[in-house]
Amino acid sequence: MPLVIDNPSDEACSLPECIEALAERGFDADDPASTDAAAWWLRRLANNRTFLGDLLVDRLVGRGGEDIASGYGPQAIVLSRPRDNRPGAAFLRAAIWPSPRDHVFQTSGAASFVYGAAHDHNFDFLTVGYCGPGYASDYFEYDYDAVAGYAGEDAGLRFVERSTLSPGKMMLYRRHVDVHSQLPPESLSVSVNVMRLDPAQGWFDQYGFDLERGTVARLLNPHASEAFLRVAVASGAESALDYAEWVGMAHPSDRMRLASFEARADLLGDPAEADALWRAGEVSGCRMVAGAAQARRTTLAAS
Domain end: 195, 219, 243, which one?
219
In terms of domains, do 202 and 240 share one?
A: no
In terms of domains, do 14 and 75 share one?
A: yes
Q: What is the average pLDDT score of the chain? A: 93
In terms of domains, do 201 and 288 share one?
A: no
In terms of domains, do 97 and 237 share one?
A: no
pLDDT of the residue at 167: 96
pLDDT of the residue at 49: 96
In terms of domains, do 215 and 230 share one?
A: no
Query: For the segment 143-189, what is each residue's pLDDT rounded down to a tens digit?
Result: 999 999 999 999 999 999 999 999 999 999 999 999 999 999 999 99
Across-strand partners of 183?
A: 136
What is the spatial distance between Cα 218 and Cα 293, in angstroms, rounded to a whole number? 15
State the average pLDDT over residues 25-54.
96
In terms of domains, do 282 and 139 share one?
A: no
State the average pLDDT over residues 231-258.
96
Query: For the segment 248-259, what is each residue's pLDDT rounded down to a tens digit?
Result: 999 999 999 999
Q: CA nearest 68: which of 8, 58, 115?
A: 58
pLDDT of the residue at 81: 84
In terms of domains, do 151 and 11 share one?
A: yes
The CA-atom distances, in angstroms, between 188 and each of 80, 95, 97, 99, 104 are: 23, 11, 6, 5, 11
Domain count, the chain: 2
pLDDT of the residue at 64: 66
Q: How confident is the model at residue 68 (pLDDT cuts 50, 70, 90)?
A: low
CATH number for the domain including 60? 2.60.120.10
In terms of domains, do 150 and 283 share one?
A: no
Domain end: 162, 190, 219, which one?
219
SS3 label, residue 227:
helix
In terms of domains, do 119 and 151 share one?
A: yes
pLDDT of the residue at 46: 98
In terms of domains, do 263 and 151 share one?
A: no
In terms of domains, do 210 and 293 share one?
A: no
Domain end: 183, 204, 219, which one?
219
In terms of domains, do 294 and 153 share one?
A: no
Identify the domain containing residue 41 by its residue range.
Answer: 3-219
